[in-house]
């Protein structure tokens, strides 16, 4: 069965370190997204991609970057981790840009100390 997987499930890092969160999907979807989930804020879009070599900034992109070298993967990099980036991160993919549903990964819980 097709799926979307995130790794690691949990990560603890120190302020200032570079961290990369992995997202891999086997749906063969062109569209991939990264969200962060915080109490009181719900889900907020960080970055998204509509295909290989395409990346776009979302609502809360500062301090994050993504790259899309193939269809299956959209890694999220925190260039210099900050305590404000402690959150649960969700990756998602969708078949089309318009009204197809998002398929979410299980999430990565990141703690920045």
Which positions touch another protein (CB under 8 A)? 33, 35, 40-45, 48, 56, 58-59, 90, 92, 97-99, 101-102, 104-107
Least distance (Å) from another protein to the CB of residue 6? 9
Q: Which is nearer to another protein, 48 or 81 (CB)?
A: 48
Q: Which is nearer to another protein, 60 or 112 (CB)?
A: 60
In terms of Cβ atoms closer than 10 Å to its own Cβ (0-12, 13-18, 19+), residue 30 is middle
Q: Give the β-pairing of 108-112 and 10-13.
A: parallel
HSE at residue 68, side-chain half, CA atoms within 13 A, is: 20
Least distance (Å) from another protein to the CB of residue 98? 6
Residues 6+ apart with CB under 8 A from 52: 68, 69, 70, 71
Q: Which is nearer to another protein, 40 or 62 (CB)?
A: 40
Least distance (Å) from another protein to the CB of residue 24? 14
């Amino acid at each position: 069965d097709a799926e979307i997987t995130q790794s690691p499930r949990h990560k603890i890092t120190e302020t200032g370190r570079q961290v990369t969160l992995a997202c891999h999907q086997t749906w063969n979807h062109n569209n991939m997204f990264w969200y962060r989930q915080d109490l009181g804020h719900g889900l907020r879009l960080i970055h998204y991609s509509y295909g290989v070599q395409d990346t776009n900034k979302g609502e809360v992109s500062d301090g994050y970057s993504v790259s899309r070298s193939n269809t299956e993967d959209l890694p999220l990099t925190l260039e210099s981790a900050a305590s404000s980036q402690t959150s649960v991160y969700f990756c998602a993919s969708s078949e089309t840009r318009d009204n197809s549903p998002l398929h979410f990964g299980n999430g990565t819980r990141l703690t920045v100390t």
